[in-house]
Copies of this chain bind each other. A is one copy, B any other.
Amino acid sequence: MCQSLPPPTEDVPLTVIGVVRSAHTEPENTPIQAALNRAGRGTIEIAGPYREGLAGLDGFGYAWLLTWLHRPGDRKDTGDRKEHGAREGRAGRGGLPPLRQVPFLLRRQQRAMGIFATRGPRRVNPIGLSLIQLLEVTPEAVLFAGVDVIDGTPVIDLKPYVTRFDRPPGDPPYGWFDEVTLDEGSTPAGLTRPEPPA
């Protein structure tokens, strides 16, 4: 192990299996995390060829919703200050996002972090990971609580939440998140407003 072989760099294909229906249409006004919008409800519409894969999901309380957050134009450096590492676009791909970005939660402080230390949507692979509460599983759709994506977001996978697999022991350190306030309903737009006077 730990040989210094070059890692693979080729692209691999993804298939969209469904779409999220939510009340949100603008990312700037959409809660930044499902856990901060537990009251928000949405629906995952699964495309016909994949519906049989839902069998058995109704026995679970929570699931991981994996989404594809890329929108045209997202991969350009959209200009948050203190960002570094914007890359030249590859032909037809729109280029890479900056590798250091100011997370929504650090907008007021304008502190940049490496993208693998953030949960932000502008990533090398813009895959969203949302912990959703399952309300109802029908033969063609999943009704859920905990919405942090806009209407029309493509779905690429659903996995059941299993406590034994997904809950680390104890209360592990969580880096810079320890220094920010995680308010219910936080949105990118809300996090740019000045702090109210004390």
Measured CB to CB, the residues of A under 8 A from B are 1-19, 21-23, 33-36, 42-43, 45-47, 49-50, 52-64, 66, 68, 70, 84-85, 87, 93, 96, 99-100, 112-119, 123-125, 127, 129, 131, 133, 151-152, 154-168, 171-178, 182
Chain B residues within 8 Å of A55, by CB: 100, 112-114, 117
Chain B residues within 8 Å of A15, by CB: 9, 11, 96, 124-125
Does A12 contact B9, Cβ atoms closer than 8 Å? no
Instruction: Please judge, given known A-B contacts A16-B7, A114-B53, A125-B15, whether A33 and B177 are in contact too, CB under 8 Å.
Output: no
Does B163 contact A171, Cβ atoms closer than 8 Å? yes
Does A54 contact B168, Cβ atoms closer than 8 Å? no
Chain B residues within 8 Å of A16, by CB: 7-12
Does A12 contact B52, Cβ atoms closer than 8 Å? no
* Complex alpha-carbon distance, A31 and B64, angstroms: 21
> How many chain copies?
2
Does B14 contact A1, Cβ atoms closer than 8 Å? no
Chain B residues within 8 Å of A23, by CB: 1
Chain B residues within 8 Å of A3, by CB: 21
* Complex alpha-carbon distance, A158 and B113, angstroms: 13
Instruction: Please judge, given known A-B contacts A1-B151, A119-B159, A162-B119, whether A168 and B19 are in contact too, CB under 8 Å.
Output: no
* Complex alpha-carbon distance, A127 and B1, angstroms: 22
- Cβ-closest chain B residue relative to A112: B55
User: 24 pairs across A/B with beta carbons < 8 Å?
Assistant: A1-B151, A3-B21, A4-B45, A7-B45, A14-B125, A52-B114, A53-B116, A54-B114, A54-B116, A56-B114, A56-B117, A57-B175, A58-B175, A59-B117, A60-B117, A66-B125, A66-B127, A123-B157, A124-B157, A129-B159, A163-B174, A164-B174, A164-B177, A166-B166
